[in-house]
Amino acid sequence: MMGTVASFTLMAIAGRAILTDFNTFELMLYRSVIGVLIVSFFLARSKRGFAQLKTTLFKQHFLRATVHYTGQNLWFYAIATIPLAQLIALEFTNPLWVALLAPLLLGETLTRDKLLIVLLGLVGGLLVGRQGVPPIHLGHVAGLVSAMGFAVTNILTRKITRRDTVLTVLFWMTLIQAIFSLALSLPGGIPWPGADLWPWIIIMGITGLSAHFCLSQALNVAPATVVAPMDFIRLPISAIVGVMLYQEPLLATVFIGGGVILLANYLNIRTK
């Protein structure tokens, strides 16, 4: 999870640099193509090789890639429109969405206490988005919906990795998303990055993969409700990055709302 934290932080910085010239679909295209190449390299060197890509769970892989692609594009949109610390705080609702959606996807029981805890977390999310009039920006909505998409992705990852390898998950994710991005980018033409953007694109491709590799490994050995809350260290890190690189203000509501979300996640872990 510490590898996941570092990867997502670097991805956010690289995403902001790239989005000055590219839209989210074009960004995802370059990121996904680099991801396919890197995963293919490790598949070729693995013991089972490309044979492990044969799967009976392709529908689940396709659903996971589609949901994640939607959430990731919304995440990049939010990066470009709201302060970094606010986006990361909104992401903290991820474990609460897991608690809410797990009954639908995993057959778990949703108790009244769990539902109240999810509502508490959403109140924290509203506090995070409070920054004047109007209080909620479209970027906040995008960040919240992306957190929901990542929650579904985490649940599907947990199910898929019971039978398929992490490399299999990453290969199908990057390949499917590369096809999506190509189809969505072609109508407007695909720009070629300038020399100043290539380092950021390479960082984006590597961290996009390393984040999911680390997260998949974590979800493979621990429940999603245990793994996801470990991501909270990203709030102070993102706040410091926002101040140092982008001169973003340190809003008290971000930390108050983040604290409410953290409390809701703590209660979620403690509640059976």
CA distances, 263 to each of 95, 98, 195, 272 (Å): 12, 16, 45, 16
Main-chain dihedrals φ then ψ at residue 132, nearest 5 degrees: 120, -155
Could you tell me which of 101, 74, 98 has the C-alpha nearest to residue 87?
Answer: 74
Mean pLDDT of the chain: 84
Measured distance CA(197)–CA(201) in Å, rounded: 6
Which residues form the domain of 148?
A: 2-43+55-270
Whether 48 is covered by a domain: the verdict is no
Window from 43-47, 118-122, 204-208 with minimum mean pLDDT: 118-122
pLDDT surpasses 80 at 204: yes
Whether 99 is covered by a domain: the verdict is yes
Whether 224 is covered by a domain: the verdict is yes
Per-residue pLDDT tens over the stretch 58-69: 999 999 999 999
Per-residue pLDDT tens over the stretch 101-153: 777 776 666 777 877 887 887 787 777 766 543 556 788 889 889 988 988 88
Strand, coil or helix: 44: helix
pLDDT surpasses 80 at 50: yes
Q: How many domains does the chain have?
A: 1
Instruction: Count the neighbouring beta carbons within 10 Å of the beta carbon of residue 130.
Output: 16
Whether 139 is covered by a domain: the verdict is yes
Return the pLDDT at 224. 63
Per-residue pLDDT tens over the stretch 161-170: 889 988 999 9
- According to the per-residue pLDDT averaged within each range, which of 52-61, 137-146, 243-252 is highest? 52-61
Measured distance CA(137)–CA(142) in Å, rounded: 9
Return the pLDDT at 108. 66
pLDDT surpasses 50 at 229: yes
Whether 9 is covered by a domain: the verdict is yes
Return the pLDDT at 106. 67
Per-residue pLDDT tens over the stretch 71-111: 999 999 998 888 887 888 788 777 778 777 777 776 666 77
Measured distance CA(77)–CA(69) in Å, rounded: 12
Return the pLDDT at 133. 38
Whether 36 is covered by a domain: the verdict is yes
Main-chain dihedrals φ then ψ at residue 114, nearest 5 degrees: -60, -40
Instruction: Count the neighbouring beta carbons within 10 Å of the beta carbon of residue 128.
Output: 32
Whether 50 is covered by a domain: the verdict is no
Whether 193 is covered by a domain: the verdict is yes
